[in-house]
């Protein structure tokens, strides 16, 4: 039995959550109309990856960085306050599993710290998992806080068992193994990376984990950046490709079957068979017969790690 999957590369409306959500809903409807049962969006899609952090001068552009960060925070998703309700309703309406990357703010904690988050929404509209990026990379640490392992889980969905790692988390061997050890069918890697080296890494993971791998960055040109972004013209050139996207769908044990979707702002589709993942692990099951648990052990602390909360002590 085959399942049709879709990876969306339509660019967000950078720093505009409402407009980007509308684009996501339109994309979801288009993919569902084409028969997709799983729709994947890129890293930090809501309301766009903060690509300016790689262009600001360290220390020299602090004021501009602060302005952009304030806009990002104002347009971040607060899940607890219903920030994903429209997307959840759409997933249930179309009976589609959705994987969505976002900038998340959590009003139940500080209400200010942002997280780089990916959620898995089931075909009934329920949030099955929320994973926050464990370690932001380089200048990303000026934007996002560090996540914990509470979302380092593989979850059952109608399209198979899904696990997610964000961008360079895929270069954390223990994080990968934590997903492999949960009988994963589909490994999803929303990212900002692209190009031959990244695709080679995804092929490695498909071979190592014996699983389907779905990966994508955001296909984004300079002309896609809204005109009202502060200092837009000093940061971006209309004629440049900021990111080519390079969505790819890779079969278990390696081999690209769709993509890379290079400089293409559309939806990438493929039909996949879940049994191929289990079958691929016959010669190499790194969390099973090839794992040597008598020698190696991995312990994962999946408890939630909220920020330190202030409590008055009695006199």
Which residues participate in catalysis according to the annotation? 43, 133, 167
Q: Which residues contact 117 (CB under 8 A, 6 or more apart)?
A: 77, 101, 102, 103, 104, 130, 131, 132, 133, 147
CB atoms within 10 A of CB 282: 10
What is each CA distance from 29 to 93, 197, 265, 267, in whole angstroms? 9, 32, 16, 12
Four-residue CA torsion sign, 72, 99, 8, 180: positive
Tokens standing for 64?
């501009």
Q: What is the C-alpha R_g of the chain?
A: 19
CB-CB contact of 40 with 249 (8 Å): no
- Our measurement of the distance from residue 137's CA atom to the centroid of its chain's CA atoms, rounded to an integer in Å, reads 14
CB-CB contact of 261 with 7 (8 Å): yes
Tokens standing for 229?
């972004």
In the chain, beta strands by DSSP E: 2-8, 38-40, 97-105, 114-121, 127-132, 154-157, 160-164, 186-190, 212-216, 219-221, 241-250, 256-262, 267-273
């Amino acid at each position: 039995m085959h399942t049709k999957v879709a990876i969306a590369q339509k660019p967000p409306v950078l720093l505009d959550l409402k407009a980007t959500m509308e684009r996501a809903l339109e994309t979801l409807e288009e993919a569902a109309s084409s028969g997709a049962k799983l729709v994947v969006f890129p890293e930090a899609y809501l309301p766009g990856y903060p690509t300016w952090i790689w262009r600001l001068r360290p220390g020299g552009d602090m004021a501009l960085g602060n302005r952009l960060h304030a806009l990002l925070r104002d347009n971040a998703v607060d899940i607890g306050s219903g920030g994903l309700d429209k997307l959840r309703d759409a997933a249930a309406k179309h009976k589609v599993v959705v994987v969505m990357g976002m900038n998340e703010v959590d009003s139940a904690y500080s209400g200010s710290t942002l997280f780089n988050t990916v959620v898995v929404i089931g075909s009934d509209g329920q949030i099955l998992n929320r994973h926050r990026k464990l370690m932001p990379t380089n200048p990303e640490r000026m934007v996002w806080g560090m996540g914990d392992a509470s979302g380092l889980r593989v979850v059952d969905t109608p399209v198979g068992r899904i696990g997610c790692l964000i961008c360079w988390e895929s270069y954390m061997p223990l994080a990968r193994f934590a997903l492999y050890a949960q009988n994963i069918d589909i490994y999803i890697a929303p990212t900002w990376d692209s190009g031959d080296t990244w695709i080679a890494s995804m092929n490695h993971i498909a071979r190592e984990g014996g699983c389907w791998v779905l990966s994508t960055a955001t296909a984004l040109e300079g002309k896609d950046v809204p005109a009202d972004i502060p200092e837009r013209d000093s940061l971006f050139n209309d004629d440049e490709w900021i990111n080519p996207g390079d969505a790819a769908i890779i079969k278990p044990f390696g081999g690209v079957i769709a993509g890379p979707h290079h400089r293409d702002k559309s939806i990438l589709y493929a039909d996949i068979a879940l049994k191929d993942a289990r079958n691929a692990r016959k010669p190499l099951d790194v969390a099973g017969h090839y794992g040597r648990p008598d020698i190696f052990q991995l312990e994962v602390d999946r408890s939630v790690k909220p920020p330190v909360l202030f409590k008055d002590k009695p006199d």
